[in-house]
A and B are shown apart, each in its own frame.
Chain A
Amino acid sequence: MKSFELARPTSLDEAIDLLPKGRGPAEIDDARPLAGGQDILTEMKDYLITPKRLVDLAGVAGLDAYQSAPDLVLGSLTRLARIAADPQIALHHRALSIAAESVASVQIRNQATLGGNLCQRPRCWYYRNESVPCIKKGGAECFAESGLNKYNAIFGGGPSYIVHPSDCATALVLLDATVTKRGPRGESRMPLEQFFTLPSEGSVVRENVLKANEILVQVEVPAPKPGWTSTYLKFKERESFDFAMSAVALSARIEGDTIAEARMVLGAVAPIPWRAGEAESFLAGKPNTHATWKEAAEIALAQAEPLEHNGYKVPLTKGLIQKALRELSGGESK
């Protein structure tokens, strides 16, 4: 790891002042915010980024809000372990509870923060390899597009084909979370769904709307509407802990034998949490049967564009969708 100075502001405005004012890649590398450090330190150890200054958010007032369910307010410094252990969150926002618990290991969840989880950088091995000048690092090419792309995107790819690595992001978009960010011009709120950006629409070297001198302040999740339940299913390559190969966040209101309404977000298949809007529309008012689940899965994956090595994600995700629908219908959950 290269040497850096550690600034310890106590207010958000001080922290913002200590972050880069410019927008070029060089300026962005001048200083970075530090939350739990569980992702950024791995990047710095591999020299993917070499900031001259880290701005430690641990002592910054206003990032530690915590209001438990049903109306959730989670400051960006909230530890994932705390979210995973909160019985109120498990009761009212089950998808988030499961997603938070599924992140990495006990050790990582004890330090990793919600803000850091949402802003973590992609896992694509071309990005994570110091010697590969890929498009996410300011290079000209996405090597995953025609290279070894087993873990890459089947939706929304181009010019980069990363998938968003955050489990919490998928669950929180499902739960209609709102995010508050703060920069030199003050605070603003937006739906979390709009926080994440596709490489084709936002800056290709970033995954969200945050500028270099903006800080994610908190996430709010509304109380679930009556009758809605949610779940999060994550498929990993190994049992102990891993990033998702595919994930499904699903919520629904089931009335008797009918799926009244449903909402579906797919994870690890696109550069952003991928809302399956057509499947949602299809499910509304349909009989709650195997045939419906199967058709919803087909519809959700109909537009998928697999690369050479990640075609497996299509049937895998279809299976997860059916499993999630079965679970919310009171069927077996495993």
Chain B
Amino acid sequence: MKPVQDPEAANQRLSRRSFLKGAGGAAAGSVLATEMAQAASEAHTAEPEVLKGVVQVSFHLNGQPTSVQVEPRTTLLSALRNHHNPPHTAAKSVCEQGNCGACTVLIDDQPVVSCLTLAVRVEGRHVRTAAGLAQGDQLSPVQEAMCADDALMCGFCTPGFAMSVTACLEKNPAASEEEVRRACSGNLCRCGTYPHIFSAALKAGRAMLQAQKGGK
């Protein structure tokens, strides 16, 4: 049997074409002409693409197309908070080491820590943050339940938990408490509101199941 290709890996590529397109669309001052020329000549001779200086990255943020101008070293967390216009502060910067989960966002519906994700790697992908959970004034079931169950004290970890719980319940709204706990094991709450967060998650799951039944 031959090994099969992983479609996920293919999705990760920022194609040369999309990079050039993105760079071409950038404000004239933000991408140096020499870099443009270099990128173009590299594309022509099929040399590997090299991103340096400031580059434009285009992606979807909570369903809306957007772009940021960042360096290769800029993390997605920093891109959202410090480079996006207007600043998008839903993902919180706490440990910057992948230990606390406060910066959790969903990339193509998978929870990741945005502090350990290079912004250039989200080109063309769908990023969701806690700011995109509500539809207008209508809170999402997870947000509703977290309010109702008092699932926060200081609230700093809350957007990260909301994203981990959302990802878990979108996969399986009937998730057990054990599954919710595992889904949240990468999120840290220093106030210790875990029992309330877990009960809110279970309540939100029931609400989502109910809505699904109602919709049928």
- Identify the A interface with B (CB < 8 A): 1-10, 14-15, 18, 37-38, 41-42, 44-45, 53-54, 56, 58-59, 63-67, 71, 73, 75, 77-79, 81-82, 104-108, 110-111, 218, 240-241
Contact = CB atoms under 8 A, between A and B. Distances in A.
Given A7-B48, A64-B6, A75-B6, A107 B71 contact: no
Given A67-B2, A106-B183, A111-B117, 4 more contacts: A7-B50, A38-B116, A106-B167, A241-B186
A37 B118 contact: yes
Residue of B2, B8, B14 with most chain A CB atoms under a 10 A cut-off:
B8
A6 B9 contact: no
Contacts of A75: 3, 6, 9
6 contacts: A2-B73, A3-B72, A8-B13, A41-B75, A67-B1, A110-B112
A58 B49 contact: no
A6 B118 contact: yes
A106 B110 CA distance: 9
B186 A38 contact: no
Contacts of B88: none
B49 A107 contact: no
B81 to A, nearest CB: 15
A320 to B, nearest CB: 21
Contacts of A240: 185-186, 188
Question: What secondary structure prevails in chain A residues at the interface with B?
Answer: mixed
Contacts, number: 125
A56 B15 CA distance: 13
A37 B112 CA distance: 12
Nearest to A14: B48
Interface string B1-28: 1111110111011100000000000000
B50 A8 contact: yes
B89 to A, nearest CB: 19
A6 B70 CA distance: 12
Contacts of B183: 106
A108 B185 CA distance: 11
Contact of B48 (A8, A77, A108): A8
A104 B6 CA distance: 23
A58 B1 contact: no
B182 A106 contact: yes
B185 A8 contact: no
Given A59-B12, A67-B1, A107-B112, A5 B50 contact: yes
B8 A7 contact: no
Contacts of A73: 3
Interface in B149-203: 164, 167, 182-183, 185-188
Contacts of A104: 98, 186
B141 interface: no
Interface in B93-145: 96-98, 101, 104, 110-113, 116-118, 120-121
Interface string B29-51: 00000000000000000001111
B164 A54 contact: no
B9 A64 contact: yes
Contacts of A106: 111, 164, 167, 182-183, 185-186
